[in-house]
Structure 1
């Protein structure tokens, strides 16, 4: 999914679930920032302190950059959560061969690991970074719909051929030209399969098709089966399930574990949200995002709020936390003064949440399914 869903839709869903504007902003910003936190390394301060951050993404849209698509410690916990073959959590971790391991790592919508991830965030919400981790988990959770059928490391399971879009004639007409510019070769069924074989990580061989809410499309998977995808329906289901988890998060401090299986009625504005997933069809995700921000301001969903997302620069989480727009990384020889509000800054709490999320997924949750990737 892209910024229109990870930030725009997530913000609207959080508000409809009862979060106030400030908390919804943190949740939605964190959900999108998962795709933008591409730097890792130590930040050194001149009082001797340091803060180490991890990356939750590479610039995956740069599909011709093979080097940046290699870190499955990024893709698996943050973008392609293993679906355990759509099976429930086992009583004890199974012993998996290579084929079974890969199959169980294929991302599946609303899988047992995805639900367990959301429960863990709810149960651990006393942490200072809890809302940030909720946004991070929300990103991973909804991506199980968009990224279903693909795996977050190099695998032949990710090979796809005969890509077709049913309701995007503009993209169909220009796709070959874009592929020619990107790969330097003409794009047809045979070549697409070759590219998939060279770039078998995630959904690289189907480009951004899984991530655009309005698209209906199909492809031939590695087994030769035709897979039909209906993004509007999938994204609407993802939003509805996310709404349930947001409601449970809010109710848990008062009512405890009994809310973890509770079903909440969708609000009256829900039909407009679902319709917008199909109606906003611009190929540019930033343009689609503007539509969602406009609806947040104009009262479409029952509130009038000027909310936006700033990845970098003056006023961004990073600039406010570190006091500089410079790209600071491993700066032991050029230390920064420690800003007075750093410890409670959005940027630090987000990165605390990233580390907590990755540790939980790779070291606590997935090993119980027999999946080791740490």
Structure 2
């Protein structure tokens, strides 16, 4: 998924589930920041205090440099949560929609409502959980199971100009990186990655909420029709349930006057997801629904997304550690660190999956 869902959609759904505007903003910002946080430079202070950052993404422009450790510590826990289906270890690492592992992660993170970084952790959860509804069928490690036949893509009920736009974007991607765009990455299985990482071979098609599409994997398996509008709608429904639980657990974060039942929102959200267009067009669909009073009991605007990296750039060695600890970016790093540890060291091993 992209910023239209991870930030604007998450904000709107969190508000409609009964969370305050500020709580919804923090959760939504953390959700999108998972994709924007490639920060690797920590900081040392004159007092000997240190702050370590927790990268949760790597930008596409540097994808050729991603190594096996990054796959294990970034892609697996934050973007392609393993679904634990199949016989082989590689098959079990493939992400699946709303898997048992995803449900276990959801229950665990929601049980931590007393943490200072709870809202940021809920934002991380929202990102990871939502991605299981779009990234299913792909894994977060370089694997042959991720490779697809490049000319096998088919689309259904797609406007001609949008299809042309998608094909142009796809062609530019393959021209830039080639069909073997991650061939130099070594997986932790100690083999050359002759396959692809994540859904790279499918470009951004899994992230487009309006798309109904299919393709062939290089191993001969047919993906079947992937109905993004239906899976994204289910993701929104489940996120609404998550945020209702947050509001119930933490009355101080709740705005129950704006709380709406999912049944009252479903058709509006369905229409938003069906909007065929680029990222900005889809963002505008969420903004318009809120501004028109279709999401809440009142009309209100969605605050613009503010990347927490911007605040980090103004920090220097003279910044007092106590100032740092009060920043949402610091709480995000706490949440990201905790999430990574829990997924890789406790959750996955409980399903006999040893990734690190």
CA shift in 2, pair 1:293/1:175, >3 Å: closer
Which of the numbers 64, 84, 90 marks the counterpart of 1:66?
Answer: 64
Measure the CA separation in 1 of the matches of 2:127 and 2:141. 18
In the TM superposition, what are the counterparts of 1:1-374 in structure 2 within 5 Å? 1-60=1-60, 62=61, 65-68=63-66, 71-72=70-71, 73-85=73-85, 100-161=88-149, 162-166=152-156, 167-174=158-165, 177-184=168-175, 198=194, 200-227=196-223, 228-252=225-249, 265-278=261-274, 280-283=275-278, 285-302=279-296, 303=298, 304-311=300-307, 317-320=308-311, 322=312, 324-325=313-314, 335-338=317-320, 341-374=323-356
Q: Is the 8 A contact 1:160 1:222 kept in 2?
A: yes
In structure 2, the CA distance between the partners of 1:194 and 1:267, relative to structure 1 (3 Å rule), is: closer
Q: List, as ranges, runs of 4+ consecutive aligned residues in structure 1 with deviation greater than 6 Å.
A: 193-197
Contact persistence 2:144–2:195 (CA under 8 A)? no
- TM-score, normalized by length of structure 2? 0.84
> Under a length normalisation based on structure 1, what TM-score does the superposition of the two structures give?
0.81
Q: 1:50 to 1:184 in 2, by over 3 A?
A: same
Aligned residue in 2 for 1:258: none
What is the rounded CA distance, in whole Å, between the counterparts of 2:321 and 2:281 in structure 1? 35
What CA distance in whole angstroms lies between the structure 2 residues aligned with 1:202 and 1:6? 18
Deviation at 1:57, TM superposition (A): 0.3
Q: Which runs of 5+ in 2 are unaligned?
A: 184-192, 252-259
Task: Classify the secondary structure of the residue corresponding to 2:320.
Answer: coil
How many residue pairs get matched? 331
Structure 1 residues 121, 208: closer, same or farther in 2, change over 3 A? same
- How many Å apart are 1:68 and its aligned residue? 3.7
- Pairwise CA distance, 1:220: 0.6
Q: Structure 1 pair 363/131, CA: closer, same or farther in 2 (3 Å)?
A: same
